[in-house]
Amino acid sequence: MDKEGTITTVLQRCPFPTGSQFISWPDPHHVPELKQNDVHVWLASLGVSSIQMEILQNSLAVDELRRAKRFRFPEDKNNFIAARALLRTLLGKYLNMKPGDIRLCCGPYGKPELSVAAGMELLRFNVSHSRGLALYAVTLEREIGIDLEFIRPDIAVDEIAGQFFSPEERSLLKTLSGDIRKKIFFKFWTRREAWLKARGTGLAGDTDAMREMNGGFSEAALWSFKDLDIGQEYAAALAVEGRNPDVSCWQWENIPTSGPVL
């Protein structure tokens, strides 16, 4: 059995709600209609030219530009600008609005949301980016969370797992080694982050949810979870409120664009 087949087999042994699966990423030619049970997931590269970066900044709000200036390293700053500008572009497609006209706010733990306006509160979204890639998840009238992580070679697996993972997960990790161990660790991690982001919290902000997750997913059974396969170097997961959503995954790069920020 090859390495990827081994990882898939190990994941099937993991204690996780039904609904997890690996998904491919076709290239669409437009932004499809978003229906009631749909979840649209978009994968985008954050690598843009300096000229494009100047254009992208024009769609951001004042508070977003302030946040961008606080980044210490230029690469992190540019990734934030590109991720937020692409988010605005994508939301603009669904809302039929100019990216710069979209009003965003943050929940108590920093989760980005649409400001309440006519019809806008029906659209829910979440975003995650890591090492030059971004994932966007969009749906209607249900909570949603997504997490993307670059699989770092220097991660402190035992320390983090001891603090946040269930006994079953820790036991499984002890049976693994090398790249497979890190891959499974990040699978567990992104699943947690996606669910906690969907709830509008974080690892430090929702200890009750962590106990639920480590105790067998009793509340998590009301949610749908999917692993998102985007290559050997990354791990990603999606959490959606409710059961059996119709999830579609696409790449962003080939979508026809219009307007000054696309």
Residue 56, C-beta contacts closer than 8 angstroms, at least 6 positions apart = 48, 81, 82, 85, 86, 261
Quote the pLDDT of residue 40: 95
DSSP character at residue 115: P
How confident is the model at residue 49, as a pLDDT?
79
**pLDDT given for residue 15 in this prediction:** 46
Report in angstroms the alpha-carbon separations of 147 from 119, 192, 235, 252: 26, 9, 8, 17
Region 96-116: mean pLDDT is: 84
What percent of the chain stands above pLDDT 90? 47
191's tokens: 């699943």
pLDDT at 19 over 60: no
Q: Judge whether 216 and 15 are in contact, CB under 8 Å.
A: yes
| Angle, vertex CA 31, rays to CA 187 and CA 47, nearest 5 | 60
Q: How far apart are CA 143 and CA 165, in angstroms?
A: 23
Would the pLDDT of 63 be above 80? yes
Q: What is the pLDDT of residue 234?
A: 93
> In this structure, what DSSP letter does residue 61 have?
-
Among the residue ranges 1-5, 58-62, 101-105, 127-131, the one predicted with the least confidence is 1-5
Average pLDDT over residues 221-225: 84
Query: How many Cα atoms occupy the beta-carbon half-sphere of 12 within 13 Å?
Result: 7
Indicate the CATH number of 3-251 among 1.10.150.120, 3.30.565.10, 3.90.470.20, 3.40.50.970: 3.90.470.20
- What does pTM read for this prediction? 0.84
Residue 180: the pLDDT is 92
Smallest CA-to-CA distance from 139 within 123, 115, 121 is with: 123
End-to-end CA distance of the chain: give it in Å, rounded.
44
**8 A C-beta contact, residue 239 and residue 144:** yes
Domain positions in the chain are: 3-251
67: left (phi over 0), alpha (psi -120 to 50) or beta: alpha
Residue 20 has pLDDT above 60, yes or no: no
Residue written as token pair 């320390």: 159
pLDDT tens sequence across 72-87: 998 999 999 999 999 9
Query: 253: Cβ–Cβ under 8 A, 6 or more apart, which residues?
Result: 27, 44, 45
Beta strand pairing status for 104-106 and 112-114? antiparallel
What is the Cα–Cα distance from 213 to 216, expressed in whole angstroms?
A: 6
CA distance 185 to 162: 12
Give the integer Cα–Cα distance in Å for 178 and 108: 38
pLDDT tens digits, 114-134: 987 655 768 999 999 999 999
